[in-house]
Amino acid sequence: MICKNCGTNFDGQYCPNCGAKAESASAPQQSAPQYGAPQNFGNGQSAPPYGAPQNFGNGQSAPPYGAPQNFGNGQSAPQYGAPQNFGGQQNGYVHRPTRKIGFGEAVKLFFKNYVNFNGRATRSEYWWVYLFNMIVYTVLSILFSIAGGASLAGAAINGDVSVAYMGAGAIFYVLMILYCIAVFLPSLSLVVRRLHDIDKSGGYIFMGLIPIAGPIILLVYMLTDSTPDNKYGPKKV
């Protein structure tokens, strides 16, 4: 038994040190909290009611269910499906669509990059130029046929067919040849840049010399969509 006055441990009814009467020492009793009342865990803080935000001791409360979480760096967790940012840089796997080049811009770039075998050319850029050249060839061929037919008819009337295609028909024929010569180099450079755009070397252009299979393979390459940034330059977006 311990004396409540001086703290002496003794047996008997009176303390031998101070003479105080002995009293039974018992641990303080705590009553159980009523159902639904806040509980105290001995640290001076009561448990929060059910459903209330919890505080983890750092001055911040847990966010409600479904709300964006903050990890202490001032940034919230991204929502599902949103592009993620790693150290200030966007996720490199985010799809960037290829920029669509129109007819007029494609023709302008075609002649601007006359002998430029560097860089890239998109699929739309190549096929717009292909359409432009086909239109020019078709128009010159029609004019040549009309003028040549008129010259042939006039020569037949005169009885001299040796000079049938001389005159206006010959002019359009010469224009066709000159145009083919003029667009030969820019057409080669465009094919090389189109190969670069799908991450292929410009040397693949010589596959066109392989009978039958070569032109088909090149056609497939020209129809292939642009690849991401590669050693020939960034993707046109």
Task: Report if residue 135 sits inside a domain.
Answer: yes
pLDDT value at residue 178? 96
Task: Report if residue 53 sits inside a domain.
Answer: no
Q: Count CB neighbours of 109 within 10 A.
A: 20
Task: Report if residue 193 sits inside a domain.
Answer: yes
Task: Report if residue 7 sits inside a domain.
Answer: no
Task: Report if residue 34 sits inside a domain.
Answer: no
Domain count, the chain: 1
pTM above 0.85, yes or no: no
Region 149-168 average pLDDT: 60
pLDDT digits (tens, 9 = 90+) for 84-95: 554 544 444 445
Could you give the residue ranges of the DSSP H alpha helices within 164-204? Answer: 168-182, 184-197
- DSSP-based three-state secondary structure for 229: coil
pLDDT value at residue 211? 94
Task: Report if residue 29 sits inside a domain.
Answer: no
Q: How confident is the model at residue 5 (pLDDT cuts 50, 70, 90)?
A: confident
Domain range enclosing 148: 103-223
**Mean of all residue pLDDT scores within the chain:** 76
pLDDT digits (tens, 9 = 90+) for 34-68: 665 555 555 555 556 665 555 555 555 556 665 55
Residue linked to tokens 């010959």: 170
Q: If residue 214 lies in a helix (H) or strand (E), which one and from where to where?
A: helix 213-223
Residue 16 DSSP code? T
Residues 139, 140, 144, 150, CA torsion sign: positive
pLDDT value at residue 180? 95
Burial class for 165, CB neighbours closer than 10 Å (0-12, 13-18, 19+): middle
pLDDT digits (tens, 9 = 90+) for 73-119: 555 555 555 555 545 444 444 455 667 889 999 999 999 999 999 99
Q: How confident is the model at residue 192 (pLDDT cuts 50, 70, 90)?
A: very high
Task: Report if residue 140 sits inside a domain.
Answer: yes
Does the pLDDT value for residue 29 go beyond 70?
no
Task: Report if residue 25 sits inside a domain.
Answer: no
Does the pLDDT value for residue 2 go beyond 70?
yes
pLDDT value at residue 93? 41
pLDDT value at residue 15? 76
